[in-house]
Amino acid sequence: MIAGAKAIHRAPEAVLSPRLTVGVDTVRISEVTESLARFGKKYLDAVFTPHEQASCAGSAEARARGLAARFAAKEATFKALRSADLAGPWTAIEVRRDTGGFTDILLHGRAAEHARRSGLRDLSVSMTHDGELATAIVVAVGDTVSDRLTQFGASSGAIAPGTIVAGREQPCPNR
């Protein structure tokens, strides 16, 4: 406390910061190249949404780099969501790229449901690649513990309103 300043008394929940969780993952780009060669469209459709596939057009190398970074982003998102046993469908987590080239995470179906139950409201992603590796980090912002207790208490255990991740939710595409 700063000398001379008056003590400010607040309720404990008023000074809690929003909850943050983080996930990170790395993928070998050569593994994506192998998967494309072995399974082709079946692999693409099982893991990547049409938007993600369209975002990764270009040379074979650029395509594999982009897809590897997106797979890393999906796994990083699972980690940020604190979902110990959730592994798919991978299309439930979508990396969206806007016209400016920036990326965002959009959740669908089971992943969106899990985020809502966990009180996680927003996600931010950053992806990179260097040499053989593609890496992504995802940060999730959620309600404080006291917020969640208040919301869950007020709704008798039902999922609290106003917790849709990124303000958007859509049915899961593909599988």
List residues near other proteins by CB under 8 A: 25, 27-28, 31-32, 34-35, 38-39, 42-43, 46-47, 71, 75, 84-90, 109-110, 172, 175
Cβ proximity to other proteins, 35 vs 103, nearer residue? 35
Shortest distance (Å) from residue 9 CB to other proteins: 46
92-97 long-range Cβ contacts below 8 angstroms, 24+ apart = 92/172, 94/49, 94/51, 94/52, 94/173, 95/52, 95/55, 95/70, 95/125, 95/127, 96/51, 97/51, 97/55
Q: What is the smallest separation between the CB atom of 3 and other proteins, expressed in angstroms?
A: 52
- Closest CB to other proteins among residues 125, 143: 125
Name the residue nearer to other proteins (CB basis): 135 or 147. Answer: 135
Residue 88 has phi, psi (to 5 degrees) of 180, 180
Q: State the nearest-atom distance from the C-beta of 147 to other proteins, in Å.
A: 29
* Nearest-approach distance from CB 59 to other proteins, in angstroms: 21
CA-CA distance, 77 to 110, in Å (whole number)?
13
